[in-house]
Amino acid sequence: MAGGDHVDDAHLKGLSKIFNSETARGRANVAKATYAGIGLLILYFTLKPSKK
């Protein structure tokens, strides 16, 4: 697994700084974004009006 080497944040810019796969914080952010996206889809499909 990744995480053994130190990652220099100076070469990371934009979204790659937040959602990188080399740090534990970056992998946690990816997981949080995935859970939020799934939650939003569930919320959308449960709250949208049904067709009659």
Reported confidence tier of residue 1, pLDDT bands at 50, 70, 90: low
Greatest distance between any 2 Cα atoms in the chain: 57
Q: pLDDT tens digits, residue range 25-48?
A: 889 999 999 999 999 999 999 999
Whole-structure pTM value: 0.70
Whether the per-residue pLDDT at 23 is higher than 60: the answer is yes
